[in-house]
Structures are given as structure tokens and as C-alpha cells.
Amino acid sequence: MNRNQVRPQRRHATPSRIERVRRQAVPKPRVIIALLLLLGLVSVMLLDGYLRAEVGNDQRVRSDASASKVPDSVLDGGPFLSFQGGTARTRSVPDKTIVLTFDDGPDPEWTQKVLDILDDNDVPGTFFLVGSMISRYPDVVRRMVDDGNEVGVHTFTHVDLSYQSAARVTREIAQTQLALAGAAGITTTLFRAPYSSTNDAIDNYSWPVYKKLGAMGYTSVFIDTDSEDWQQPGVSKIIKWATPKSGKGASVLFHDAGGNRAQTLEALPQYIKKMKSKGYTFTTVSGAQQQAQGPQAQGQQAQEQQTQAPQVTPGTAGSTRQSNPEQAAHRTADTATLWEGRALLGAVAVAEWTVPGLAAVLAVVGVAVLGRFAMMLVLARRHYRQRNRRRFSWGPSVTEPVSVIVPAYNEKECIANTLNSLAASTHPIEIVVVDDGSTDGTAEIAESLGLPNVRVIRQPNAGKPAALNNGVRHARYDIVVMMDGDTVFEPDTVQRLVQPFGDPEVGAVAGNAKVGNRTTMIGAWQHIEYVMGFNLDRRMYDLLRCMPTIPGAIGAFRRDAVLGVGGMSEDTLAEDTDITIALHRAGWRVVYAEHARAWTEAPASLGQLWRQRYRWSYGTMQALWKHRKSVTDRGPSGRFGRVGMPLVVLFQIVTPVFAPLIDVFTVYAMIFVDFKASLLAWLAVLLVQLVCAGYAFRLDRERYRYLLMLPLQQIAYRQLMYLVLIHSCVTAATGGRLRWQKLKRTGEVGTPAPGTGAR
């Protein structure tokens, strides 16, 4: 019998087919919770990536397109473009007037300092804001508006709208307006497209966009004077390039975000003082438009603006103008837009806290994982050298007979191979087969083999722990070896396994479990896991004297030690981990005999593998919780609690739970940040794992060709194991319970030839 035994239900307790279908049709709460958590995480990460505008199309597509369809009056006109009755009209800034415009903000550092400079010099500015930046720094926008400055839309992700679909254009504008409404309670009629500083930047591709926005009530704002501060040419050049000629008015471009703006901050106050000394006044876009129109035209424009508000989203548009004439482009957001904007800012706030927080946690996890690899390599090497010294000895050679207990439940496919392998043992043994109520003739097969020193004990189906305890009670010798009914031993396995009992402090010995059916892809993946994860780990834990688990496939115990801790417990689904920790707490030493090999039949399908590992991980959690007081045990009995418990919790629960997020973040970084750098980082981690796996294969004298499956294992198999663990954690958190599950066996793992194993 293996670890995956299931007790048959009584006939009257068996649910009907309709009930089973109904039960399967309704998702379990823990599954719903897990899916909701996954959906929430993915949504937060996508929002964060979208906000940071680091996904493609964030650059000018082309700059040499024809402008044959654009009216000359627009190309040669003033920097303020609007449409009235479908007709394009441009306006210029009046003479001796400066409109300071700033692009790409808000920025929590540079924009705040720009606002300080404007306040100190008592001049307003017009800021064209990126929606994603508004969402992240709403307080800066609020201050900007409260100080009397004007704001406009600069798209949500700073994308070149000229080559986007109509839906994308609408979405970019609407999302920015929602962010603005959430931040300051307003919307705006001003718009500036990225990569379109002067009127001659309009081409046949972008002209339909401006016509569409004009029909929606927007004024597109260009410039006629560029400081080119983004090039950081030096303060004197910024001031020179921002100065209009011959007393003309100008719409001047500066930047308050998008890079280091130290030169802009130094140049701006000098520039303002210089222009004031020349008799210039400073105003906003709305102020310049009003001055250019004259009193009669201003009154007419006021009526037009009250009846034509920009379309924020279908069916939602503000219509109340602010009282400040310098902010005539602003509209008070209606209730729906206001609350949608606040909801957007709330979601952004969650993303702003969650993603960096997870990144910090994953950095710690990544360091822990790499530290574990390093520790495994160092300690495994030390363990190997220590155990292979010529003078190394456990003590007097153990030659007395031992009892081998084989619990079996419906193992007709495997039991013959198991018993035949034991019959070839070079160490004197008795074989105790405990048939746990099998219904397939397992006991009869065992008896029909006619092997010497084999006893078959029958019992009603009671589970694996009960079968093992029954076998211990019937054992004739002081040392008992426990194995699964689907496992085969090499001829010298028992002899190598029991030698550590020459040390009177040793209470139990873990053997080296190998995957026998490794010819399939799933089998090869598990083979890599067994060699690298299980056996390399056991070398480390052995050296630290805190072995967490004696595998059910191969383990040896002092009979008195097992009886002294109450035998195999039914409290958990991982009775092997449970008994191992109990022996530690009783003061016994548990060691690893790497040369004692057993060949077991691993699950052959993903479904069976999921069920097995689900039970293993959940049972391990149960065992750790059951023995949580070992942390406070004193003396040698508390060593596992002080050393083993933290290591198992950290490396078998915490880091694997967060490890999938590392892969998720890797994909995130490939899409939103830097594909090449992210791919190289992932390959570097894979290389570290390959080195560890290669060393583990060398220590176990395994063939390296299986390591060709490692990259695919990391992509597919490892994710499955992570999901299993997460599922187990959710089950534990929601109070779910698991039952023993019997896996289907094929009996393909045969008796290994002497000295060759089952490779």
C-alpha cells in the first residue's frame, strides 16, 4: 500500500449520481477564493503596467507624413485650434503676452517645484497632464488647480494618437478626464497631443483626430516657441530658445516631468524675470484666447462654451464653468464622472501599493531561494565528503535481522515485484505484509509467491497508519523497515539502510527514493524533482540534524522509538512527516542513508500527480501545525523546532507560495518594462537551478540526459506544483479537509538488477 490509500465508504453513505453531479457543478469556496485572488492580482498588475505606460506604442510612429489634406490656414495659423460649425479656426497669442505650457506631468518632485516658482513669481501656467500620472499623483493636480493654473489633456498613456483606432482615441481622452475629475473635481476643454508641438506637426494621419476632438468641443493647443528643455542644453540656451522675437506673443513649451528637470527649474525664474522686464505679461490658454478675441467676441465665446461642453464619456459631461476667467476651460465634473474618477483613483492607489509591496516581498523571496540553492550546494558537498571518508563509520556493523513492513491495499499490480525484490536482499529480513482489506486479491498473490520469511497479516480496511502500526506490533526484530507496496528495493538496500543504527542516538533513517517509471515526460520531471529537490534537501537537513520527513517509500526505525511516540498517527495526512518530527521531539536523531535506494512508481498522469502532491503539501502543513510547540522545546529535542521548522516553513511553504509571482512578474517585466533584461534574468536563475541539479545528479550518479527536460519542467511542472501548494494553503485557511486517495498503479517498476538500479 502506498501513501495514497482511501477508505471505502459504506454503501448507505454513498452519494447518488445526481448528488455527485450537483456537487461537482458547484465550485468549492476555496476554489472561488483562489480564482478571485488570482484575478485580482492579474488585474492589479495589468493596471499598474498600463499606468506606467511602458507597453508599446509610446513613441512617434513617423514624422515625414504628408499634410496635403490639412488646410494651410491651420498649418500657418496660431497655436490654438478649435472648430466652430465644422470649420477650423486658429488663434494666436496677443503681443507682449506669454502662455507658459508644461507637458508630461504631474510629477511629485518636479511639478511641485515648478508650482512653487510660479507662485513665487505670481504667474499662471497651463499644464497638459498625462492621465496615468494624474491617477498616481492626484494631490499635485489638486494643488495645481487650486493655485489658479489651467490644465489640459495630454492622453492617458502618452501615446501617438495619430495612428490609433477611434476607440483608442476616445478611451485615452475619456480616461484622462475621469482621472482629472477624481483628482480635482473638474474636466477640461483643452487638449495637446503627444509629439505635436507646432502646427506643422499635423499631417494627414493626425488631422482626422483633431477634427474629431474639435467636434467634441476640445481646443487643441500647440506652441510657437520651444525651450527644448528636454534636451538639457543648458540654462542660457533654454532661456534664449523660449524668448519670442520682436515683442510678439508666444505659447512656450516647457516640461515638468519625463526626466531630470533641474535645468528647467533653474531657467524658469530667470526667464520669467527677463520677460517681465521686457514688458510681457503671463496668462493661461483661456486668458490668451479671451484677450485675442476682444470684449464682444469674449461674450459670444462665453455663450458658446456654456452650450458646447467637451464630451468626456458618452452621456457624461460637465457643463458648469469655473468663475476664474484664467480657468475658463475647466468644467465642474458631474456626479457620475466624479465618482467614476474617484473609483479609478482608488484602484490606482491599490495598484500603487500592491505591486511595489509584492515586488519587495518577491525580492526577499528571490534572495531566500538563491540562498537556499547556495546553502544546499555547500552543505551537500560537505555531507558527501563527510560520508565518503575512509574512516567514517556509524559504529559497529549492524548484522542482526530486521523486519520489513509492507502495508498493502489493492496492490495486485505491484506486490509481486515488491516482494521479489525483498527476497533478493543481502541482509537477513522477515517480511510482514499487512493487507488492509484489499478487494483485488493482493493477500492471495503475496501468499502464492511461496517466498521464505513472508507473513501475511489481514485486517479490515483501516488506513495506512493503522496497517503500519499493526505491522510494528507483529514485528519480531528491534529494527523495522517501512516501505510502500508499489516500491522495489535493490539487493543491498536494507543492508545500507540499517547501518546508521550502529549509532545508539539514531532512531530513524531515511533512504534514497528514486522514480522508477521515468521514461515518460511526467516521470522525467518527477525524477529531476526527486534527485534535486528531495535528496539534495535531505543531505542538507541531515547535516543540520533536522530531517523533516522520512519517505514512506523507504525508511527504517527503531521499534522502541516508534512505539515510544505512540506509533504512526492518524492525525495528519502525512504520517511520515508526523512520525519524523515526533521522533525529533523525543530526542532521537534522524539521518539520511543516500546509498540505500528504493525505486517507486510515481503518478503517471497530471490528475494523479495533483492529488498526490495536494495531499502531501496539506499533510505537511497539518504535521507542522500539530508540532508547532517544538519551537519552544528545550535541549536536543527542540533542535527541529529551532532549525528544521523555520527552514521547512520558509522553503516548503512560504517561498513556493510566492514563487509563482516571480514568474508572473517576469512576464510582467517582459511586456511592460524590458523584455531582453527580464529574459536574461530568468535564464540566469534557470542556470543556477541547472548547476544545482547537475551537482545533485553527480552526487547520485544519475544520467545527465534527463536535465534536458529541466527548462520545460520549470515552465510547466513547477507551476503545477506551486498551484498545488497554493490550493493546499487555501484549503487550510478555509478549514477544508482531505481524504486519502488511492492512485492507479501499473506495476511497471520491476526488480532492479544488482548494481544497476532501474535506470
**Which residues carry out catalysis?**
103, 255
Amino acid at 633: D
Widest CA span in the chain: 117
Neighbours of 372 (CB within 10 A): 17
**In Å, what is the CA distance from 341 to each residue of 128, 338, 496?**
18, 5, 71
Q: What is the DSSP letter of 742?
A: P
- What distance in Å separates the CA atoms of residue 252 and residue 225, rounded to the nearest whole number? 5
Q: Could you please report the per-residue DSSP string of 312-356?
A: SBTTB---EEPS-GGGTTEEEPPHHHHHHHHHHHHHHHHHHHHHH
Whether the Cβ atoms of residue 757 and residue 490 lie closer than 8 Å to each other: yes
Q: At what angle do helices 335-387 and 655-672 cross, to 10 degrees?
A: 120
Q: What phi and psi, each to the nearest 5 degrees, are found at residue 70?
A: -95, 130
C-alpha 25, offset from chain centre: 29
SS3 126: strand
| Overall residue count recorded for the chain in this entry | 759
**In sequence order, what are the residues at sequence separation of 6 or more whose Cβ sits closer than 8 angstroms to the Cβ of residue 505?**
588, 589
CA 251 from centre of chain: 47
Instruction: Judge whether 393 and 502 are in contact, CB under 8 Å.
Output: yes
- Are the C-beta atoms of 440 and 511 separated by less than 8 Å? no
Going through 316-475 in order, the beta strands assigned E by DSSP cover: 320-321, 330-332, 402-408, 429-436, 454-459
CA pair distance 398, 383, nearest whole angstrom: 22
Among 566, 553, 570, smallest CA distance to 619 is for 570
Which H helix or E strand runs over 510? Answer: strand 506-515
